Amino acid sequence: MAPGIRFKDPWGEQRLFFGRLLAAIIIVLLLVGILVARLVHLQVINHVHFADLSQDNRIRIEPVPPTRGLIYDRNGIVLAENLPAYRLEMIPEQVEDMPATLQALAQLNLIDADEIDRTLALARRQRRFEPVTLNFRMDDEQVATFAVRRQHFPGVDIRARLRRHYPFAGATAHTIGYVGGLSAQDLERLDRANYAGTAQVGKVGVERAYEDLLHGRVGYRQVVVNARGRALQYLEVSDDAAPSANGVAPGNPRRAGRAPVPGQDIVLGLDIRLQLAAQEAMQGWRGAVVAIDPNSGDILAMISTPAFDPNRFSEGLSRRDYQALLNDPDNPLFDRALRGTYPPGSTIKPQMALAFLHHNIVRPGDRRFCPGHFRLPGSSHRFRDWRPQGHGNVDLIEAMAQSCDVYFYANGNELGIDRMHEFMTAIGLGQVTGVDILGERPGLVPSREWKRGAFRRREDQAWFPGETVIAAIGQGYMNSTALQLAHSTAILAARGARMQPRLVVASTDPLNGALLEIERTKISRLELRDEHHWDVIRDSMVAVTRGQRGTARNSMQGTSYVVAGKTGTAQVFTIGQDEVYDEDVIDERLRDHALFVAFAPADAPEISIAVIVENGSSGARVAAPIARRIMDRYFEDREL
């Protein structure tokens, strides 16, 4: 071994050891410092934030849907109410496999299998913590079936809710409308935040048009939940301060959150007794009835038949049942009062006669001979009167009472389509009335300008004199809705005063119950050159119901009130020059439409009415008696 070589350096090892120890202590202290700093950051600086997050794991915010407002008729009778019902609801964020869960529920007959795809699409479009309604009305058997299997369906539960109910069912189906399940399209047009927890929304009629008033404002509540998200109890707080705006006394416990604001109740001008009378009178017929107060524009009755039960929609109509309604040949879902357009036929002769007087085409006493047909100068085509042998020499009142077509053919030709279009539009035809529910169709009063835009081929755009002739008796291109006919007749009744038709007349403040009247909408008055012409037209319409040869004389005999009316029969298809219409051999759906318009009492009108019966063949035999039954009910009720 070489001298002077050292194998061990105790001092060097000690320095190395202490150096490493010091480094380890520094690292440990640094890590402890970081840990302490982090704890300070979490527990002190961000204490409130993380306490809220922790609380959120224990407490769930649940939306509380508001109570939907009720709908009343003019006499305070409930037309739409809320009844308790059990619903099956699902919270998507608490369901691991929604398709499998829905399939399992369908196998238990708790939901409709046809609705699974729609439910999945709706769940994807709304926030995952918002409940999705799977069954709007569970019966006792379904409640029991789910209750014993509840543990197999996390995120699905039964809730006690209010469902919409319509006591008069089909009588108000098209007018009041109905509520149905929220769809993806509904969510796009609505305020989602205000519809959290809401499963249904107004689809048509008053329910849709006044959705903002009826719905109210959503509230919320805090719910203590377990690890699986199941509600354990509602969180309560104590009000130790002064009484709050909702009337809670100091120290009294209440549920934490915000109370929902209920929707406003609304009042209609509709008279349900008159509505039921109209429905009964139209039993077995397809068509529409509209009755209006000419002094206010309030709609007293509006019926479309056949109808449907709106309660089926509020209870959750299956796709299968909905398709059955769509495929029904009588089309009960179609609102014939608002959307059905028909040739008005002779029911517009009072308006046409007023145009003749206003433009000095005729004077009240002027006579015209009716041989049973009319020819344009230089033409061999005969425009036939409904009475083949003709009516002889008639003046305006006689022509109206007997519904002489030749009188209106000849004078309509002299009036011309341009002046005809201008006047008939001013008196409420060929345009929407502006009624306060959606879906109204405008009808049509033709004109040269309209025809140029309606046809592509140049040869089809020309206006022919014969088209003016048939327009003068409400045929050809001319068409109207029942609402427009009732509105135009109301203008006649009110001697030119034009009130926009409306269904809703008032609402109530949900907080204090105060009645809030909705202001009537007046349209500029129709002015005539001679105010006496209003009396002439009224007298001519009275002659229809009381004249010796009036077409509605038989239907209106014995009334305690005087009716000013006009019958109408509108062709469904064109009859050739040498053909004869025979309703006994023709297909039922090709028969003429039957129409009648009227206002009463003639001297001080209170009601204006229009009746359209599809394929009813005769306005005098079918539509006028229906109107008589409705008006009888109106005046009977008024005398009570």
User: Hey, which residues are catalytic here?
Assistant: 346
- State the SS3 of 426-454: HCCCCCCCCCCCCCCCCCECCCHHHHHHH
Say if residues 90 and 101 touch (Cβ distance below 8 Å).
Answer: yes
Say if residues 596 and 566 touch (Cβ distance below 8 Å).
Answer: yes
Nearest-angstrom CA–CA distance, 303 and 286: 10
**Rounded to the nearest 5 degrees, what angle is found at the Cα of 597, between the Cα atoms of 474 and 360?**
55
The residues pairing with 304 across neighbouring beta strands, listed in sequence order, are 288
Tokens found for residue 375? 């020819």
Q: Where are the beta strands (DSSP E) in 199-275?
A: 200-204, 219-225, 231-234, 236-238, 253-255, 257-258, 266-268
228-260 b/e with 16+ CB inside 10 Å = b?
eeeeeeebeeeeeeeeeeeeeeeeeeebebebb
**Phi then psi dihedrals of residue 510, to 5 deg:** -70, -20
**Phi then psi dihedrals of residue 505, to 5 deg:** -110, -20
Which residues, including other chains, have CB under 8 Å from residue 336's CB and lie 6 or more apart? 286, 287, 288, 304, 305, 482, 612, 614
User: What's the maximum distance between 2 C-alpha atoms anywhere in the chain?
Assistant: 160
Which residues, including other chains, have CB under 8 Å from residue 484's CB and lie 6 or more apart? 428, 429, 430, 431, 433, 443
Coil, helix or strand for 25? helix
Coil, helix or strand for 219? strand
Tokens found for residue 38? 């982090």
The residues pairing with 576 across neighbouring beta strands, listed in sequence order, are none
Ordered alpha helix ranges (H), 216-298: 272-281
The structure tokens 């389509």 sit at: 417
Tokens found for residue 255? 């549920």
Among residues 422, 415, 426, 512, the alpha carbon closest in space to that of 472 is found at 415
The residues pairing with 220 across neighbouring beta strands, listed in sequence order, are 63, 258
**Rounded to the nearest 5 degrees, what angle is found at the Cα of 285, between the Cα atoms of 501 and 564?**
50
Which residues, including other chains, have CB under 8 Å from residue 521's CB and lie 6 or more apart? 297, 434, 499, 500, 502
**Rounded to the nearest 5 degrees, what angle is found at the Cα of 128, between the Cα atoms of 165 and 180?**
20
Return the number of other C-beta atoms located less than 10 Å from residue 634's C-beta. 23
Coil, helix or strand for 257? strand
The residues pairing with 329 across neighbouring beta strands, listed in sequence order, are none
Q: Sign of torsion, CA 595 601 602 607?
A: negative
Say if residues 359 and 419 touch (Cβ distance below 8 Å).
Answer: yes
Tokens found for residue 304? 């479309």
- Bridge-based pairing of strands 236-238 and 253-255 is antiparallel
